[in-house]
Amino acid sequence: MLLAAAKQSRHVKRRPRRTRTGIELPRSDGRTIAARRFRALIESFEKELGGNLSEVERSLIRQAANLVQVSERLQADVVAGLQVDADAMVRISSEARRILGMLRAKAAKNKPAGPTLAEYLAAKRAADAEPADE
């Protein structure tokens, strides 16, 4: 009886771990190669979009990172000579391409049309440095 009570008291519900961006990684401490690759993909996609993202955009980024990672794993299996479902590989690659295209369109829409401040100041300095033709 005491042994059963001791086992119950030791069994504590663990909280799921979260990454810096708030992504929940259940049953993973984030140190596996797959977890690091997932975070790297998310960070690169977020950087391309320029930050200040909505929850919908973050969800798309997580989906894209997941699909890219699965696609990479399937491609590695093909290279290793393992049997891979070609239909699943095409579907995953197509879905990843579609979501990445949506993210790329959002990134292009969010980019400013004119020159950046640094580009403007460099052009201004270059124009001031040239002697005036009179």
Boundaries of every domain in the chain = 14-111
In this prediction, residue 101 carries a pLDDT of: 92
Strands, DSSP E only, in 1-134?
17-18, 24-25
Distances (CA, A) of 63 to 13, 26, 49, 57, 79: 28, 16, 15, 10, 24
What is the structure's pLDDT at 74?
94
Specify the pLDDT at position 119: 86
Residue 72 has a pLDDT of 93
Q: Which of 32, 100, 90 is nearest to 66 (CA)?
A: 100
Q: Consecutive 10-residue runs of the chain (134 residues): their mean pLDDT?
A: 52 58 64 89 88 86 94 94 94 94 82 79 87 57
pLDDT of residue 128: 85
What is the model's pLDDT at position 115?
A: 80
Whole-number pLDDT of residue 51: 74
